A and B are shown apart, each in its own frame.
Chain A
């Protein structure tokens, strides 16, 4: 944009007459610049984000549940005594029993978990299988309300 493209005579293109009363603020110093096609620019930026998200998803770096550790990308298991809000669907029954004051027997009894369910089963797998009434919000409030720590 050099600022010298105004016209005196109206060609085919619709024109606007700058009124004599117009006093636009002068533009100070016009930098060397190029116009960018707006829609192409927006399209390129959107494509860039899409590539980034899809790429990091493919590499396993786009975790959307659970805290992660750097490098390994492993989920952080809540420490013993942690807030029950930290209980997530990816956690196994064993991890819940280890991190919170609840016994395996009480957990299995409260949520009607079949006795032969391995402790490695995650809460999500259990819910999806329909084998138990367990769901994370109920589990959280049950522990908050003082679940039995021993059977």
Chain B
């Protein structure tokens, strides 16, 4: 491709996108913390923070349809939120995960803190790179582990349907986080510690490998017409987008980022230095058969040649 100029994305745009999302995440985490605190101090009658997890709605769906009741620990709020997540996924894929899920936000915050430390300690960064270079097999392992969330989804929803009990609750780190004020050492609490520990080294480990709600959204989101779209004629091939993606999606390889792991955080769009290379778009059913490799750039090449 001939060398040419493309508009630079303004830094203020990136800041606006990032801080809007972080603002929403902070509000949600703060609100959940307040609910947990109220529950711990005021006791019964106060809303349980568990009631605000949409996954409970999916776990109880079968019982709800067949018996008209919810399984224990699930409230109608869970069902309403599950419906909202279905609508959100149809419209905007993993928007819930990227903007609203408190567990995802907490993992992100831990990873950001780890980054902040390593950026101030070059020896730590170098050690990290040295360790990573000894693990060339990691991308393959990561790829296989990503199927884990579908396994968890089948187990959690199937188990609840068959037994009438929320089998996933026993290992659910979200449930453990909500009970943290009770200092109860349980399997879920151990899982939570592992997730938070891994978050120091891996972006959103629970979201990547084990979250059944993320799996549901990924599957439903396949029908969404909204996605980040890349334009190769404005792309620098710099791969900054790949590094920015917390879910490890290779954005620079895609035309439309339709990967089921996409959480709609728009970090790739905010990070991309080229204003026209990445954008959030909605597609229409018609396809215009243009290939970037087919675009005639001969006039551009000629003009550029004349300039040099």
Contact = CB atoms under 8 A, between A and B. Distances in A.
Given A28-B255, A48-B84, 9 more contacts: A13-B7, A16-B273, A22-B1, A31-B284, A36-B279, A45-B88, A52-B83, A61-B76, A70-B69
A127 B5 CA distance: 70
Interface of B: 1-8, 10, 16-17, 20-21, 24, 43-48, 51-52, 64, 68-72, 74-77, 80-81, 83-84, 87-88, 91-92, 95, 99-100, 226, 229-238, 252-253, 255-256, 266, 269, 273-274, 276, 279-293, 295, 300, 303-304, 307
A76 B7 contact: no
B5 A29 contact: no
A8 B301 CA distance: 9
Given A52-B84, A67-B72, A124-B45, A41 B234 contact: no
Interface string A46-73: 1011001100100001111111111101
Contacts of A64: 47-48, 51-52, 75, 77
A146 interface: no
Contact of A52 (B70, B74, B80, B295): B80
A30 B290 contact: yes
Contacts, number: 248
Nearest to B307: A8
A6 interface: yes
Contact of B281 (A7, A24, A35, A70): A35
Given A19-B3, A26-B293, A33-B283, A6 B233 contact: yes
Contacts of B72: 67, 83, 85-86
Contact of B291 (A6, A26, A62, A90): A26
A3 B303 contact: no
Nearest to A61: B76
B279 A1 contact: yes
A20 B2 contact: yes
A115 to B, nearest CB: 23
A3 B231 contact: yes
13 contacts: A5-B231, A6-B6, A15-B8, A20-B3, A27-B231, A30-B290, A30-B291, A31-B288, A39-B16, A48-B84, A49-B84, A65-B44, A76-B70
A49 B52 CA distance: 12
Nearest to B67: A70
Contact of B7 (A15, A124, A135): A15
Nearest to B286: A32
A31 B4 contact: no
B4 A18 contact: yes
The 4 A-B pairs of least Cβ separation, nearest first, read A89-B44, A124-B45, A64-B47, A24-B235
B304 A8 contact: yes
A43 to B, nearest CB: 8
Contacts of B279: 1, 35-36
Contact of B4 (A7, A73, A124): A7
A16 B6 contact: yes
B83 to A, nearest CB: 8
A41 B284 contact: no
Contacts of B3: 17-20
Nearest to A20: B3
A56 B285 CA distance: 33
B229 A65 contact: no
A105 B124 CA distance: 66
Contact of B282 (A19, A33, A136): A33
A129 interface: no
B77 A62 contact: yes
Nearest to A67: B70
B51 A68 contact: no
Interface core residue of B88, B91, B237, B303 (most chain A CB under 10 Å): B237
B139 to A, nearest CB: 18
A10 B5 contact: yes
